[in-house]
Amino acid sequence: MIPVYRKKDTLLQELHPATQLALICSLLILSLVAKNPLYQVAVIAATAILSASADVAVEWWSWWKLCLVIGLAALIINPLVSRMGATVIWRGPHVPVLGRLDITLEAVAYGAGMALRLAAVIWVFALLSLIMDPDRALGLLKGKGSRSALASALALRMVPTAMRDSVAILDAQRARGVAKDEGGKLRVLGSRFPLMKRLVSTSLDRGIGLAESMESRAYGSHRRTRLVEFRFGAGDVIVVLLAGALLGAGLVGIAGGGAPFTYYPSLSAPVSMWTAVFAALPVVIALIILALSKWWKRWTWLKLRT
């Protein structure tokens, strides 16, 4: 399942696009800058809470397979190519070009840390694609960027539109007995060729219809107008402040040594009260936004001003 934006009545989706980007960027920067794996775990947990608050947890979780594959690749490749580390846990044979395959504990730990970081980044971007309307995000571009925004919006819509078309066409083919789902893989693959032909034809028809629609609306003939004006509301102010507090406190904690962690030359992870405080900060912020989302559905004043 590819996580794509679907309109839902939730606070995170109704926020200003700049507010959504600020929240996502704060999580992304922390996951990339922090060396302590506790930060990556906290970012993943915070992203899971935010996906639940936006009612997209099922779609967000669907990317666990990609995270697992990429994480295992990092976990396996790094110990094989890295010769750093003081604690050798396995002495392998001598391999031409690569040299002696000695696997160290520090290299394994570093690979695991990179796997967590990659998983955090993937899940953060998955959350972004689920809560942000591509049209509203690209609508932030003004002036000369409007044409690029239109081209980008059409490109972003291509994959989900093609997926919906393929499901509808495949159902129609099954009703007529054209699509065969039984037999070997080659037979099933061969029965899908009519689907590809029809998808191309449908895409061309849609493109012609879109061009005619743009021409009928006099696109490009005058100054660009906007149907919906974006505005910052009370919810945007609160979330921006929370995102700023998250990023600021996290960077201060990392710079001040609040959550130290060293992979090489030997593992070193001093644990203190501040380590738990700074690592738990993303989860706390996410829980506050979750509570705010619950209030947003019931509190008419806040909903009208978001």
Which tens digit of pLDDT belongs to each residue from 24-60?
A: 999 999 999 888 888 899 999 999 999 999 999 999 9
| Integer angstrom CA distances of residue 57 from 20, 64, 102, 161, 282 | 17, 12, 41, 22, 17
* Nearby residues of 129 by Cβ (< 8 Å), 6 or more positions away: 3, 4, 5
Q: Which residues of the chain, if any, have pLDDT below 50?
A: 1
- Chain-centroid distance of CA 236 in Å reads 20
Give the predicted TM-score (pTM) of the model.
0.75
DSSP 262: B
* pLDDT for position 43: 94
Report d(CA 71, CA 43) in Å as an integer.
16
* Nearby residues of 89 by Cβ (< 8 Å), 6 or more positions away: 103, 104, 105, 108
- Domain extents for the chain? 11-137+230-304, 144-216
